[in-house]
Amino acid sequence: MNLNLKVWRQNDAHAKGKMVDYSISGIDGDMSFLEMLDILNENLINEGKEPVEFDHDCREGICGSCSLQINGEPHGPDKFITTCQLHMRKFKDGDTIVIEPFRATAFPVIKDLVVDRSSFDRIQQAGGYISVNTSGNTVDANAIPVQKEAADTAMDAATCIGCGACVAACKNASAMLFTSAKVSQFALLPQGQVEATERVKNMVRQMDLEGFGNCTNTGACEVECPKGISLENIARMNREYLKANLKG
Amino acid sequence: MSALISSSIARKVVMALSGLFLVLFLAQHFTINLTSVIAPDTFNEWSHFMGYNPLVQYILQPILVAGIIIHFVMGIALEIQNNRSRKIGYVRYNGSANAPWTSRNMIVTGLVVLAFLGLHMYDFWVHEMAYKYLESNPEDPTRYYAETVEKFEPIWRTVIYVIAFVLLAMHLWHGFSSSFQSMGWNNKYSAGLQTFTKIYAIAIPAGFIFIALYHHFNPITH
Amino acid sequence: MGILDSKVPLGPLADKWTKHKNEINLVNPANKRNIDVIVVGTGLAGGSAAATLAELGYNVKTFCYQDSPRRAHSIAAQGGINAAKNYQGDGDSNYRLFYDTIKGGDYRSREGNVYRLAEVSSNIIDQCVAQGVPFAREYGGLLDNRSFGGVLVSRTFYAKGQTGQQLLLGAYAAMNRQINRGKIKAYNRHEMLDLVLVDGKARGIIARDLVSGEIQRHSAHAVVLASGGYGNVFFLSTNAMGSNVMAAWRAHRRGAFFANPCFTQIHPTCIPVSGDHQSKLTLMSESLRNDGRIWVPAKMEDAVAIREGKLKPTQIKEEDRDYYLERRYPAFGNLVPRDVASRAAKERCDAGFGVNKTGEAVYLDFSAAIMRYGKEKALTSGIKDPSDDTVRKLGEEVVEAKYGNLFQMYEKIVDENPYKTPMMIYPAVHYTMGGLWVDYNLQTTIPGCYAAGEANFSDHGANRLGASALMQGLADGYFVLPYTIGDYLSDDIRTGPISTESPEFEHAEKEVRERIEKLMSGKGKNSVDYYHKKLGKIMWNKCGMARNAEGLQEAIKEISELRKDFWENVKVPGESKSMNQELEKAGRVADFLELGELFAKDALHRQESCGGHFREEYQTPEGEALRDDENFKYVAAWEYKGEPKDAELHKEELVYENIELKTRSYK
């Protein structure tokens, strides 16, 4: 199929970017979206132009590197997938596809479609862990029984890949789903409850410092999350946060 | 404490609590108004009580005003902050793909309701203040019904009221259930609660619309 | 012992590690504060090593090319992690895990290292649970296990089909805790371009900031390379697009021996190639072989009809299906080790029984498992005389709970519903057992340069068992390296900070700059991918699942020519002083073009078939691998001597004191 692409091009963090039009042909429905961009880049290189930079790595939907706002939606029109798992069979011959970077003040553009998501790392660094030493001097794994349901719910929250689609989709660029996924994972496990109070306070503080917006419960994040992380996590974090602050 | 107040979650909780308070107020307001259709005498009686009872006038009324002010000042502050969190917008943003219009446009529905409140205050509160304090009229426990019905005589005012209530319904449609989520209330009862809030969001404004239309089409014949 | 001293401690196998830990030197906590360690790569091995070293008190700098340590490719591991916990009470033990690993590796790994791995495996699970890794659990609240290939016990711990992700996020969290304490400085979007040696010791690296293009010098008292494997030398593999051999290869060029490069694992269950546009291959976890049955049509005409689209797999009758693994290996059936399963698939496809358009695919069928689970579920739910449809529906629910995310992934890529029609799979390059040669302390032949995880060669011999890579990465990083590196660093307590102003750093930086300039100035006509794809084709056709002397000789020649062409004709657009992903790729492919040649040379020299290395000349009449213990029971460690084909071979003889060498049989 033949497609018209409108791609955001921006030389570096300080440059002013703009949308640039490209047309591309010979695209097969079995190709992934990123393989389509590979072909665009191969064409550009052969024409002596600079290829479009975009983040990607594992190309199987788990590393969270790939991003892209495709036709106004993070990771494109399909659901429960990342851009690397989006296949061209979702588009029709002659379609125009608008490709932009994830937009948020806390995700500044580095170049073209590449954005800086280190704000996510800093939120995790503020408290997204259980403070145990890693030397292995701990109790036997089965000495801490965990209710299966709690373990499963914790696992569901823990599947977050940190791609930033929640922020990109949210009209307020809020990072609540991302932050709450980690808070929830630990809040649900007995191992994590020991330092739950400090964790939620520190992570929320960092989240606010990074300049993410406020959650207005639109639910866009949940719909666009490639891993289907539930809004319940946000409620849980709100609860944990209030509990933590009321306790002092 | 200051850290708490400036945190995004605490601000949302303030929005939720003030919103829930206003939802509660709405129910009370609606109940009194409904009597104007069913039993004008009761309406007069209750209105008079509300207008002259010191507890209502000097405690509840200021709380209500504070609730409204907190809700809209915080709402606007959050909106400004939220806009700042995405300084460069998308060329194409397909918001309808993942969230309903009502949830994305609380500021629009909220501001319309706020503007309506201006008119509403002018219609009733300013009138009351003038009646009671400027003109120093004596107490008249029977005047309220007639005054109210009279207000709905002009078609323009009735139309504005109807439109405002439609937007209020949209505001409540998202806001009422959302306030529970903001306060961390999401559990096995949430689905039931959600249904209740949606019914409430439609029923109360629809009731207000009914009352407005009722009075418009049933004027007091002199 | 010659030049290669494995430094495996003497004494009984089970006591070696404890004894070693008791005897090696330690660095006192106050002195650790004055010692810097660089860790390159932040996957399971690097991330866990960095966190533990920082926790012990060392100043750690981590480097990764990704934008966050959380994205390292360990994250893509699906199925699980082995540990000899024996929670199932099915006869597991440290010895059995050790034995299975040595046997699975076709007797080409070091006894001492493997036993240590088995010994610390239980500790990994304890550690990860304490860190909040949400492993799957039984209703009683205790940990659940599943089975993997090549073993007769259930020792694999898992977190849905995302075990690697959960373990990596655990290590990442441990790193974050240390970053927050200021003990780790994380250099993300940075790539190591060279290793710097001062007085023969590894003392730092040259790195490029991938955002600004700035070339930086970083010094340390020791350098840990945990940069993963080199499967991307095949272009198409299950590795991430960015996975590369640069760090290891730069160390090799500076004097670290490269061991067993030809030992590459071809994973049997990957989604087949769909066309020329293909950029990478997607793995379907080995855990699927717990429940899936692998087959091809028994009749040639059926296979042809399927390829032409005239017949559907579900239309083929039970008796006309060839469950070739169950037929050839009745004892292990569909759970034979990966190398065996891969070769068997290739054998059937080469014989003309392949089932997709390209003829390179076999079926992985869940219908039997779905019905079996369905019946079980019907029984436990008290449904009497359920219809077939009910049974199927219940069964599909059970299968979805176990493998839902994998099935969804398959459906998104192939556009077919694997609950209704069998999956198509084919082997693909997945893991490299070879890597930098290390001794028992995980030190390479360069003093102060350590290698951990997939980057080293140490534990898996010629073939790795499923769910063992995660185990090795974390064992190295959490429990081995933090001890053994102290032994070396105890000599450095008075060294003080290492200056980056020395001539050695100067020289290394100059070389790096020259290389980048050369890559940028290639006024040629071909993109980097053009060369990478060509290299991949040579590797897959001549160094892939089956190799022979003639093909390998051709490969050496072709790769060497391709490399020459690359340096003359590659085209790298843009500039080096900004983000430039083409330049990044160019540097990586340049190194693959050298490694590929050494790979072929190693495969050519190893005149036997063992594990993932199958030489067509050395096989039994039934087509099974024929090992030659008399002549090749050694680790081939190659020393860099300029051109890869001139590399010099050093042998580390493998000594088996606790295990009897046998022909590996899964029949």
What's chain B look like in SS3? CHHHHHCHHHHHHHHHHHHHHHHHHHHHHHHHHHHHHHCHHHHHHHHHHHHHCHHHHHHHHHHHHHHHHHHHHHHHHHHHHHHHCCCCCCCCCCHHHCCCHHHHCHHHHHHHHHHHHHHHHHHHHHHHHHHHHHCCCCCCCCCHHHHHHHHCCCHHHHHHHHHHHHHHHHHHHHHHHHHHHHCCCCCCCHHHHHHHHHHHHHHHHHHHHHHHHHHHHCCCCC
Residues C587-643 pLDDT 10s:
999 999 999 999 999 999 999 999 999 999 999 998 889 999 999 999 999 999 999
What integer pLDDT is reported at residue C160 of this predicted model? 87
Residues B165-201 pLDDT 10s:
999 999 999 999 999 999 999 888 999 999 999 999 9
Separation CA A238–CA C80 (nearest Å):
33
Q: Are residues A64 and A84 in the same domain?
A: yes
Residues C510-528 pLDDT 10s:
999 999 999 999 778 899 9
Q: Are residues A152 and A233 in the same domain?
A: yes
What integer pLDDT is reported at residue C1 of this predicted model? 40
DSSP state of C476: I
The shortest CB-CB distance from C55 to any of A58, A127, A133 is to A133
> In CATH, what number is assigned to the domain containing residue A196?
1.10.1060.10
Contact A189 C137 (CB under 8 A): no
Instruction: Name the burial class of residue C667, with classes exposed (0-12), middle (13-18) and buried (19+) by CB atoms within 10 angstroms of its CB.
Output: exposed
Chains sharing 3 or more CB pairs under 8 A with chain A: B, C
Residues A131-159 pLDDT 10s:
999 988 889 999 999 999 999 999 999 99
Count, residues in chain C = 667
Locate C301 and state its tokens.
């005409």
Is C563's pLDDT higher than 50?
yes
What integer pLDDT is reported at residue B136 of this predicted model? 86
Taken in order A14, A15, A18, A23, is the CA torsion positive or negative?
A: negative
Separation CA A115–CA C68 (nearest Å):
12
What are the residues facing C64 on neighbouring strands?
C188
Locate A68 and state its tokens.
């892209």
Q: Are residues A96 and A147 in the same domain?
A: no
Separation CA C439–CA C481 (nearest Å):
11
Q: Which among B219, C193, B91, C278 has a CA at the least distance from the CA of A100?
A: B91
DSSP state of C293: E
Separation CA C48–CA C448 (nearest Å):
19
Rg (C-alpha) for chain C, rounded Å, is: 25
Which range marks the domain in which residue A149 is found? 118-247
Chains sharing 3 or more CB pairs under 8 A with chain B: A
Residues C395-435 pLDDT 10s:
999 999 888 888 999 999 999 999 999 999 999 999 999 99
Contact A245 B4 (CB under 8 A): yes
Separation CA C155–CA C147 (nearest Å):
6
Q: Are residues A122 and A230 in the same domain?
A: yes
C195: alpha, beta or left? (left if phi > 0; alpha if psi -120 to 50): beta
Chain A CB contacts of B85 under 8 Å are: 104-106, 172-174, 211-213
Q: What is the mean pLDDT of residues C486-508?
A: 97
Q: Are residues A70 and A186 in the same domain?
A: no
Amino acid at residue number C176: N
Nearest CA in chain A to B181: A235
Q: Are residues A95 and A135 in the same domain?
A: no
3-state secondary structure of A75: coil
Q: Which of A67, A90, A111 is the last residue of a domain?
A: A111
- For chain C, the average pLDDT equals 95
DSSP state of C408: H
CB of C562 closer than 8 Å to CB of C590: no
Q: Are residues A80 and A128 in the same domain?
A: no
> Which residues are CB-neighbours of C12 under 8 A, at least 6 positions away?
none
Q: Which among C5, C13, C6 has a CA at the least distance from the CA of C116?
A: C13
Matching CATH number, C268-428, of 3.40.50.10490, 3.90.700.10, 3.30.360.10, 3.40.1160.10: 3.90.700.10
Separation CA A84–CA C71 (nearest Å):
14
State the maximum Cα–Cα separation within chain B, in Å, rounded to a whole number.
62
**Is C338 a catalytic site residue?**
yes
pLDDT band at B19 (very low <50, low <70, confident <90, very high): very high
Separation CA C188–CA C68 (nearest Å):
6
Residues A171-189 pLDDT 10s:
999 999 999 999 999 999 9
Instruction: Name the architecture of domain B2-84+103-217.
Output: Up-down Bundle (1.20)
Contact B81 A242 (CB under 8 A): no
Is C348's pLDDT higher than 80?
yes
DSSP state of C422: P
Nearest CA in chain A to B188: A232
Q: What is the mean pLDDT of residues C553-561?
A: 98
What integer pLDDT is reported at residue A248 of this predicted model? 65
Separation CA C467–CA C44 (nearest Å):
13
With a pLDDT cut of 90, the percent of chain C lying above it is 91
Q: What pairing do the DSSP bridges indicate for beta strands A73-74 and A69-70?
A: antiparallel
3-state secondary structure of A153: helix
For residues C395-433, one letter each, b for 16 or more C-beta atoms within 10 angstroms of the residue's C-beta and e for the rest, the string is bbbbbeebbebbbbbbebbbeeebbebbbbbbbbbbbbb
Asked whether A and C share 3 or more beta-carbon pairs under 8 angstroms, the answer is: yes
Domain boundaries, chain B: 2-84+103-217
What integer pLDDT is reported at residue C190 of this predicted model? 98
Q: What is the mean pLDDT of residues B73-101?
A: 96
Instruction: Name the burial class of residue C37, with classes exposed (0-12), middle (13-18) and buried (19+) by CB atoms within 10 angstroms of its CB.
Output: buried
> Which residues are CB-neighbours of C579 under 8 A, at least 6 positions away?
A12, A53, A110, A111, A114, C210, C211, C212, C213
Residues C96-115 pLDDT 10s:
999 999 999 999 999 999 99
Matching CATH number, C13-263+433-492, of 3.30.110.30, 3.50.50.60, 3.90.1330.10, 3.40.50.2000: 3.50.50.60
Is B100's pLDDT higher than 60?
yes
3-state helix/strand/coil string of C165-206: HHHHHHHHHHHHHHHHCCCEEEEECEEEEEEEEECCEEEEEE
CB of C444 closer than 8 Å to CB of C248: no
Query: CA distances (Å), C373 to each of C114, C324, C368, C392, in order?
Result: 37, 23, 9, 9
Locate B181 and state its tokens.
């989520």
The shortest CB-CB distance from B98 to any of A169, A231, A234 is to A169
What integer pLDDT is reported at residue B2 of this predicted model? 63
Contact B185 A72 (CB under 8 A): no
CB of C226 closer than 8 Å to CB of C452: yes
Residues A230-244 pLDDT 10s:
999 999 999 999 999
CB of A209 closer than 8 Å to CB of B81: no
Q: Which among B156, B163, B68 has a CA at the least distance from the CA of B108?
A: B163
Q: List all residues of chain C from 466 to 485 with a beta carbon under 8 Å from chain A.
A: 478-479, 482
Q: How far off is chain A from B72, nearest CA to CA, in Å? A: 14
CA atoms within 13 A on the CB side of C540: 17
Chain A CB contacts of B98 under 8 Å are: 73, 169, 218-220, 223-224
Separation CA A57–CA C244 (nearest Å):
12
CATH topology (fold) of C502-626: Methane Monooxygenase Hydroxylase; Chain G, domain 1 (1.20.58)
| Total tally of structural domains belonging to chain A | 2
What integer pLDDT is reported at residue B3 of this predicted model? 63
B174 touches chain A (CB under 8 A): yes
Separation CA B200–CA B207 (nearest Å):
10
Q: Which of A111, A141, A160 is the last residue of a domain?
A: A111
Is C666's pLDDT higher than 90?
no
Is C667's pLDDT higher than 90?
no
DSSP state of A17: P
> In CATH, what number is assigned to the domain containing residue A48?
3.10.20.30
C555 φ, ψ (degrees, to nearest 5):
-60, -45
Nearest CA in chain B to A171: B104
C436 φ, ψ (degrees, to nearest 5):
-65, 135
State the maximum Cα–Cα separation within chain A, in Å, rounded to a whole number.
64
Separation CA C570–CA C523 (nearest Å):
7
Distance of CA C219 to the CA centre of its chain: 28
3-state secondary structure of A63: coil
Distance of CA C485 to the CA centre of its chain: 23
Nearest CA in chain B to A179: B9
Q: Which among C604, A206, A216, A235 has a CA at the least distance from the CA of B181?
A: A235
Locate C342 and state its tokens.
């891969």
DSSP state of A31: S
Residue at token pair 């405690």: B59
Q: Are residues A130 and A100 in the same domain?
A: no
The shortest CB-CB distance from C71 to any of A65, A131, A159 is to A65
Separation CA B156–CA A121 (nearest Å):
56
Q: How far off is chain C from A39, nearest CA to CA, in Å? A: 8
Q: Are residues A53 and A138 in the same domain?
A: no
What integer pLDDT is reported at residue C665 of this predicted model? 82
- The DSSP secondary structure of C477-529, one letter per residue, reads IIIIHHHHHHHHHGGGTTT-PPPS-SHHHHHHHHHHHHHHHHHHH---SB-HH
Separation CA B143–CA B151 (nearest Å):
13
